[in-house]
Amino acid sequence: MIAYPPLTAVVTSELAVSGPLRYLAFWRVLASVKSPGGSAWERICRVAAPEPAYLYIPAFSLIRPVVQRLGVSLVELQPELELTEGFSADAASRPALVNADTPIAADVDFGPVSPVVTGRQDARVLAHFVYLAVESHEARDLRSIDYELEPVGEDLLFIPAVWDPRYIHESNWRLLLREFDGLVA
């Protein structure tokens, strides 16, 4: 079993924070993607340049809208993450890989650090789902999307967030990154 040291994104939001700070687990997947010209992925790669473009897979939830909405939002924005190893002093617990069948009372009941319910191999499969969700924003017919996606590496990282019902399009999570400052519903 490969151990992934926790990488934690630094809060870069310039807005006031209300509510308890949480660290949500995400897989950041580097993938080799072959897609036709004019695809959403091609545009995202141009935005991310000179850095590589990543697919982001929420690892703290298997709920489809959470995976789709947060994954697509992060992929489309390609945030500039300032990463540190470990957690700040206010995150007393460490992340744990839990069985997907283990019930979690509610999205916000896991404490300061989310569990990891999606393993590395599942994240590689879900990368296809997030990729197709990104492409579906611009394609009229998903059957016409011709692509090849091969994950070539991944990092497990934790993004600071607060539970905020005003962020309905991000499954009620306000990611504390400057790229998300303007997304209040």
| 132 within some domain | yes
| 184 within some domain | no
Side-chain-side CA neighbours of 31 within 13 Å: the count stands at: 28
Write the DSSP assignment of 94-161 as a string of letters: PP-B--TTS--S-TTTT-SB--B-S-HHHHHHHHHHHHHHHHHTT-S-GGG---EEEEEEEEEEEEEE
Looking at residue 88, what is its pLDDT? 58
Cα–Cα distance for residue pair 34/149, rounded to 1 Å: 7
Bridge partners (DSSP) of residue 167 are none
| 13 within some domain | yes
State how many domains the chain has.
Answer: 1
| 2 within some domain | no
Looking at residue 89, what is its pLDDT? 46
Q: In order along the chain (185 residues), what is the average pLDDT of each group of 10 residues?
A: 73 87 95 86 93 96 92 95 76 43 51 91 95 83 77 95 81 90 65
Looking at residue 149, what is its pLDDT? 94
Tell me the pTM: 0.84
Nearest residue to 26 via CA among 182, 159, 140: 159
What letter represents residue 170's amino acid? E
- Residue 176 CB contacts under 8 Å (≥ 6 apart), including other chains: 11, 12, 13, 17, 21, 159, 160, 161, 162
Q: Whole domain around residue 71: which residue ranges? A: 7-179
| 25 within some domain | yes
| 115 within some domain | yes
